[in-house]
Structure 1
Amino acid sequence: MNGTIERAGEGAPVIETERLILRPWADEDREPFAALNGDPQVMRYFPSVLERAESDAMVETARQRVLEDGFCFQPAAIKESGRFIGFVGLNRPRHALPFAPCVEVGWRLSRDAWGHGYASEAARAWLRFGFETLGLEEIVSFTTVTNTPSRRVMERIGMERDEAGDFDHPALDPEHPLVRHVLYRLKAEHWRRMQTAS
């Protein structure tokens, strides 16, 4: 996979792929991020759209997680133009998930970035960072059962469904239509085999 990894001043990684820059949060990301989080189509697999204050709070949380963990969900920008298209990254979930502690890979992209393979490209770069730089033994991903687009990305990057690990998300009401989540896993050993085969 094409890519380079550096560390920014605050410790957040800067990862370059063929078409993208995965970089730390900047204040100018707040407005396009809020627009993304306020888009009902982007947020259709989440409980609700976010207000501006909620979106800004996500940025601050991500920055804090970098200080605590050394990584978190970070902006993805088009390399040629610098245009912000959403976030991709690794995260240590704080919810009481049945398979915790764990590190997840996740993404949220604006509608105009869909269908170009950006989520897969960025996620693969973050998997490399997780397995090669952080030395993780496993990375997981999860989403609501009906989120077929994200599930396709999980499968495209080599993750495998753990049906026995499907769960009700503890942050949602048990009666919420999105409460049931599917779990995907990728072991470091499997990831290394994929790199050898590619």
Structure 2
Amino acid sequence: MIETERLILRQWKESDFEPFIKMGLDQDVMQFFPSLLTPQESLNLIQKISRLIDENGWGFWAVELKESHQFIGFIGLHNQPEQFDFSPCVEIGWRLAKEFWKQGYATEGAKAVLDYAFNVLNLDKIVSFTATLNKPSQAVMERLRMQRVKNFDHPKVPLHHQLRPHVLYEISCERNT
């Protein structure tokens, strides 16, 4: 578990399922993904994420507001062993319900996750990537002092799809201090 001034990042629990399913069906939340998630796809994703947290001690943690304990999305780390030409790597990522956008939560939680990655896991470098159209996530990456490295085509997004072009950012341990 990781705590910040306003957030708790923790393992998933059953009360997170319904709000996460709603996020997967929300066109605004999912606008930079190739498709919406069915309720079953969202549940499968939670199950996978939860298992990885159990196995590794870290992952895409569920995020709740410290004051109200309301679930707002996820922020965390994911191991990318071989999918990209810049793999293996550890990725930082986030997805928040839209009513919690533009309040600094993604940046606040991600800063704490970077601190954990560098000072607890002793990782040397963290990457993040998103569709080139996703300017809000790129703004978070830049607030985290991540550096834009390159553009690339996401291999799992269909050819000629508007979301295939992606951008890669990274940050090293030294830069985070």
TM-score bucket (shorter structure): over 0.9
Q: Deviations over 1:119-167 (max 9, x none)?
A: 000000000000000000000000000000000000001101002xx21
Could you tell me how far apart the structure 2 residues matched to 1:95 and 1:61 are? 18
Structure 2 spans left out of the alignment, 5+ residues: none
- Residue pairs, 1:72-111, within 5 angstroms: 72-94=59-81, 96-111=83-98
Q: Kindly, what percent of the aligned residue pairs are identical? A: 45
Which residue does the alignment assign to 1:183?
Answer: 168
Q: TM-score, normalised by structure 1?
A: 0.87
Backbone CA RMSD of aligned residues: 1.0
Contact 1:131 1:137 in 2 (8 A): yes
Could you tell me how far apart the structure 1 residues matched to 2:32 and 2:119 are? 31
Q: TM-score, normalised by structure 2?
A: 0.97
Contact 1:143 1:183 in 2 (8 A): yes
Higher mean C-alpha deviation, range 49-58 or range 68-77: 68-77
Which structure features the higher share of strand residues? Answer: 2
Aligned residues: 177
Instruction: Could you list the structure 1 runs, at least 4 aligned residues long, displaced by more than 4 angstroms after superposition.
Output: none
- Residue pairs, 1:51-130, within 5 angstroms: 51-94=38-81, 96-130=83-117
Could you tell me how far apart the structure 1 residues matched to 2:17 and 2:123 are? 30
- Residue pairs, 1:1-198, within 5 angstroms: 14-94=1-81, 96-163=83-150, 166-192=151-177
Contact 2:126 2:170 in 1 (8 A): yes
AA at the equivalent of 1:171: K
AA at the equivalent of 2:128: S
> What SS does the aligned partner of 1:92 have?
strand
AA at the equivalent of 1:110: A
* Deviation of the 1:93 alpha carbon: 2.3
Could you tell me how far apart the structure 1 residues matched to 2:120 and 2:81 are? 22
Could you tell me how far apart the structure 1 residues matched to 2:24 and 2:164 are? 20
> What SS does the aligned partner of 2:61 have?
strand
Could you tell me how far apart the structure 1 residues matched to 2:136 and 2:55 are? 31
AA at the equivalent of 1:53: Q
